[in-house]
Amino acid sequence: MALEKIEHIEGKGVYVQGNDIDTDRIIPARFMKCVTFDGLGEFLFYDVRKDDQGNDKEHPLNESRFSEASILISNANFGCGSSREHAPQALYRYGFRAIIAESFAEIFFGNCCGLGVPCAVASHEDINKITDIIDSDPSTEIKLDIVDSTVSVGDLVVSVEIPQAAKDALTHGRWDPIAELQEAEQDVDELVNHLGYLD
């Protein structure tokens, strides 16, 4: 099955401020009692968005002016903690197609890439510039260009970092590696035997 070649993502942005936003915060564990990922979008950031009665709390995702956002912006070490893919799945199913942050936790980054959700690293200063623009005008279009490693927001163009492997995988439509992994079956069998895993 041919995958989409993801060269750029365009959309409106929303800023969820904070360092070390962990995957428990992105999707609390109690919502992982499910055998499919369907419906997880509803519970994204649940405990910081809703009070114990289920009413909205103050949170950027609850602001109507950001309701069309498809690019999430945050700070350092985004997605740390639990390896749960439920976190990127919830972001994707809520409608996010790209994330820009100061840094990403590694497992989260890999999980996003496998879903075709690019994660781009921008400097603290550039994050501030981008979020100032979208705060004053949430309708501003953001373009993440994966080929050029840039983010354009209105007149602002800043460089971002996307590791080469992720860049290649996304732009060549190979972000889901399963087909390529399956090709090497014979080599895998030989290595399994050679290393004595079946002894």
Partner 1 sequence: MAKNLFQKVWDAHAVRELSNGQTQLLIGTHLIHEVTSPQAFGMLRDLGIKVKYPERTFATVDHIVPTDQREEPFSDPLADAMIKELAKNAEEFGVTYFDLGSGKQGVVHVVGPEQGITQPGTTIACGDSHTATHGAFGAIAFGIGTTQVRDVLATQTMSLGKLKVRRINVEGQLKPGVYAKDVALHIIGLLGAKGGIGYAYEYGGSLFDSFSMEERMTVCNMSIEGGARCGYVNPDQKTFDYLKGRPYSPSDENWDEAVEKWKSFASDSDCEYDDTVNISADDIAPTVTWGVSPDQGFSIEGLIPDPKVEENENDRLSIQEAVDYMKLEPGNPIKGTKIDVAFLGSCTNGRLSDFREVAKFLKGHKVSEGVKAIAVPGSQIVDLMAKKEGIDKIFSEAGFEWRGAGCSMCLAMNPDKLVGDQLCASSSNRNFKGRQGSPTGRTVLMSPVMVAAAAVNGHISDAREVFSL
Q: Which is nearer to partner 1, 33 or 136 (CB)?
A: 33
User: Closest approach of Cβ 191 to partner 1, in Å?
Assistant: 5
User: Closest approach of Cβ 173 to partner 1, in Å?
Assistant: 11
110 vs 156: CA distance, rounded Å: 28
Q: Which is nearer to partner 1, 68 or 168 (CB)?
A: 168
User: Given the rule CB under 8 A, which residues bind partner 1?
Assistant: 18-20, 22, 24-25, 28-30, 32-37, 47-48, 52, 75-77, 80-86, 88-89, 103-107, 110-111, 114-115, 124, 163-166, 168-169, 172, 174, 176-178, 180-182, 184-185, 187-188, 191-192, 195-199
User: Closest approach of Cβ 70 to partner 1, in Å?
Assistant: 21
Kindly report the length of the chain: 199
**N-terminal to C-terminal alpha carbon distance within the chain:** 36
Q: Which is nearer to partner 1, 12 or 84 (CB)?
A: 84
CA angle 164, 146, 25 (to 5 degrees): 85
Burial 78-105 (b: 16+ CB within 10 A, else e): bbbbbebbbbbbbbbbbebbbbbbbbbb
User: Closest approach of Cβ 135 to partner 1, in Å?
Assistant: 16
Q: Which is nearer to partner 1, 63 or 180 (CB)?
A: 180
Specify the 3-state DSSP secondary structure of 171.
Answer: helix
User: Closest approach of Cβ 80 to partner 1, in Å?
Assistant: 6
Strand partners, 145: 8, 150
Q: Which is nearer to partner 1, 57 or 154 (CB)?
A: 57
Find the helix or strand (DSSP H, E) in which 180 lies. helix 178-183
- Which of 137, 135, 187 is closest to 17 using CA atoms? 135
